[in-house]
A and B are shown apart, each in its own frame.
Chain A
């Protein structure tokens, strides 16, 4: 294994490979900043240029892009409160409040370092599991996927901002939104109002952009002040503080990374749930849970550390089975096939050096992104000092194009607008947004895997070991959340 690791590394640090990585990073950065445009678009455009490249050169080119779009999306999330992609929503929750308090530099620094650490954790997870990857992936079937979505849903209890009833209501509303579209079991259009555009459901990206980004823009236009209203710490020391923070709270980053890697392995489900489990778990185990959602460093670190680790985890089923866990990994898979790499056992034996090269690329790309962004952080955080109305046209264009680019259709722009309206109402009248998002993200997956489990196993799947394990975890989460809420009510003496 060591020779493969070294061989992979050597092939990746050649000047040509590094320059390809650099090009990939720049492209990924530029594309990733725009919400809604992410890995898929950039990768699809770069595919034709991989003609003629060796496999390892192809990864250097493509994987570095994939890595960077997540990080760049994190920057928009922090600065503007507009999530770069659906998986960056958790970063907005605490990253943007920090920017508003004048700590944009610190937040970006923390996010970058936590992302790097998360990538390393994800990489270590892959390496350690290489001998047992295939049995692990095979052990997870529809019943386990279903239980995982349920675990994600139990975090509603933690992320409801104080009112669990409202949280549950929003979550059910979110699930209903997720059910819009053609039913996979019977091909009946559900809640589509006769519109063909709704057959594939309502675009999650458009919802995320609108729900979180819309209110922020409106706020800027109403208040006419800049994003950061507090004293701005836009000097470089802020970034280093951010770096330090991610080491101070190393256990938060570690756990978020482990959760990301572990959940990311589960193809199809992993990515959507991971950020909520990581964030929710961090909140539950934090000593200052009430800070979450208001600029908690722990919250930001949990959200950031989880992202790249999850991408690393998603590589596992892809390499070993050709099973893509996300849209980005699907495109990387296409690239593999174009270049002549076949996912399968060979990737873990004869071609182990190629697998290692992939892992090295993700780590090195993260380091390069970190280094490149350092000089940019100061000018970037200056944006938070610009007066609101000046930013408004730019941000409006950003969200419109971001929503439009998901499917090249104005339809998604209207979805975004509706989500923005809902976001504003939620914020004004204290209805929690995160459970709504949880429901939207998990609703359809939950139903699909439930029926698949039933189709394949009847009711026998309830006794599978991993299923029971997840059920225990769920019970634990509920119990803990319930106890926290009960303790709080006792303290306050008023109903929740």
Chain B
């Protein structure tokens, strides 16, 4: 019941991407510029931006007249106000007009860590008027791991496009002495390495299991925290040794001096995060294959999809509208100004990626996932 109490939220998946360190300076400058143009102008400017994007749609190659005058619903499988929700609202604000629809509104449908909404979208009407922002890694791991409550097949959804996909990072406490993988192994030799997690079956739990396997650690995966911020607080208090979370959550914690980000949880370096070393650098063979598989899965990020079986032409409209939104200068301006960077992937490519992940996941990885869910 970790997502139930009014004050417990799952934030490791929900938190948006905020690349603080690099963008802070440019933001301060751009905000100063905005400030100079007059503060009322800013508020109305912001609204004007929104008004402009409600203008008639740009030309489209497919026949999208179906969407005219209709409302498209974007389902968000988490509560209002988190990072996941705010990304979705940002997309909804701009994509409706690109589609030629009357508007696109967000509907929150939280529950079971996103599974509730995903299950319902799986059997929803496939007219094209209902889409959902998927937490792709969450659904893929649940499906591959054979979790209870999954009644969908990730590959079957009508994938429209990926909005953002940041890698996960491994963080250590701000005051502990860990500077290398060997240090972790040294700790493991003396006592159990304490790795934090928001809950069994969560991505960070799977990553904790992965770390234990590939580095041969004697670990104690501590579950029961209500979300990434709480785990980071525990890390800051020195109660934990390690924690794997999204890059943005890690970045926040680092700025708050609650953590030090050490490595990227991936097999190869990422050009967007040149300062971070991938743990793949320390692995080879089967271990490397496990991390690679997981990294590919996490890259699914936050992506838009509709129920299975949307008619081809309407799906093409949706995909086109999505692509246009991702390139729209107004959208990109809002994305940058609000610290929500996007790294889009088109629908067709994404669909292939997802099918590949579900069909060709290495058996060792699937076994690890199954172990994580049936613990």
Q: Do A and B bind each other?
A: yes
Report how far A181 CA is from B148 CA in the complex, Å. Answer: 13
How distant is A408 from chain B, measured CB to nearest CB, in Å? 6
Assess whether A352 is interfacial by the CB under 8 Å rule: no
Nearest residue, chain B, Cβ from A342: B255
Are A47 and B6 touching (Cβ within 8 A)?
A: no
Known A196-B119, A343-B252, A448-B2; judge A321-B31 contact (CB<8 A): no
* Contact size range, B: 35 or more
Known A187-B373, A268-B230; judge A51-B82 contact (CB<8 A): no
State which residues 180-235 of A face B: CB under 8 Å. 180-187, 189, 196-197, 199-205
Report how far A187 CA is from B201 CA in the complex, Å. Answer: 8
Assess whether B46 is interfacial by the CB under 8 Å rule: yes
**A40 partner residues in chain B, CB cutoff 8 A:** 79-81
Known A40-B80, A41-B80, A330-B11; judge A322-B253 contact (CB<8 A): yes
Known A40-B81, A49-B43, A268-B8; judge A337-B224 contact (CB<8 A): no
Assess whether B24 is interfacial by the CB under 8 Å rule: yes
Are A334 and B1 touching (Cβ within 8 A)?
A: no
State which residues 373-412 of A face B: CB under 8 Å. 407-409
Count residues on chain A whose CB falls below 8 Å from chain B CBs.
81
**B109 partner residues in chain A, CB cutoff 8 A:** 407-409
Are B116 and A196 touching (Cβ within 8 A)?
A: yes
Report how far A444 CA is from B8 CA in the complex, Å. Answer: 11
**A115 partner residues in chain B, CB cutoff 8 A:** none
**B16 partner residues in chain A, CB cutoff 8 A:** 334, 337-338
Residue from the list A44, A272, A320, A407 in contact with B7, Cβ < 8 A: A272
Assess whether B375 is interfacial by the CB under 8 Å rule: yes
Known A340-B31, A342-B252, A342-B256; judge A200-B4 contact (CB<8 A): yes
Could you count the A-B residue pairs with CB atoms below 8 Å apart for me: how many are there? Answer: 240
Known A51-B334, A52-B46; judge A200-B110 contact (CB<8 A): yes
Assess whether B102 is interfacial by the CB under 8 Å rule: no
B206-247, CB under 8 A of A: which get 1 and which 0? 000000000000001011111001101110110110000000
**A54 partner residues in chain B, CB cutoff 8 A:** 31, 35, 39
Known A327-B9, A342-B255, A448-B2; judge A196-B149 contact (CB<8 A): yes
Are B45 and A201 touching (Cβ within 8 A)?
A: no
**A53 partner residues in chain B, CB cutoff 8 A:** 42-43, 46
Assess whether A269 is interfacial by the CB under 8 Å rule: yes
Residue from the list B148, B199, B229 in contact with A324, Cβ < 8 A: B229
Assess whether A331 is interfacial by the CB under 8 Å rule: yes
Assess whether A344 is interfacial by the CB under 8 Å rule: yes
Are B80 and A44 touching (Cβ within 8 A)?
A: yes
Nearest residue, chain A, Cβ from B41: A52
A263-280, CB under 8 A of B: which get 1 and which 0? 000011111100000000
Known A57-B39, A408-B107, A456-B222; judge A51-B337 contact (CB<8 A): yes
Which among B27, B226, B236 has the highest number of chain A CB atoms within 10 Å?
Answer: B226
Are A52 and B43 touching (Cβ within 8 A)?
A: yes
Residue from the list B2, B34, B230, B257 in contact with A52, Cβ < 8 A: B34
Known A196-B119, A342-B255; judge A334-B28 contact (CB<8 A): no
Report how far A201 CA is from B42 CA in the complex, Å. Answer: 43
Report how far A321 CA is from B39 CA in the complex, Å. Answer: 30
Are A16 and B40 touching (Cβ within 8 A)?
A: yes
Nearest residue, chain B, Cβ from A178: B1
B66-80, CB under 8 A of A: which get 1 and which 0? 000000000000011
Are B89 and A48 touching (Cβ within 8 A)?
A: yes
A-B residue pairs in contact (CB < 8 Å), sample of 8? A40-B80, A138-B233, A141-B239, A331-B80, A344-B256, A409-B109, A448-B226, A456-B234
Known A52-B43, A182-B1, A272-B5; 17 more pairs at CB < 8 Å? A57-B39, A181-B4, A184-B223, A184-B224, A196-B112, A197-B112, A200-B1, A200-B3, A204-B6, A322-B232, A322-B255, A322-B256, A334-B83, A338-B338, A343-B255, A343-B256, A452-B224
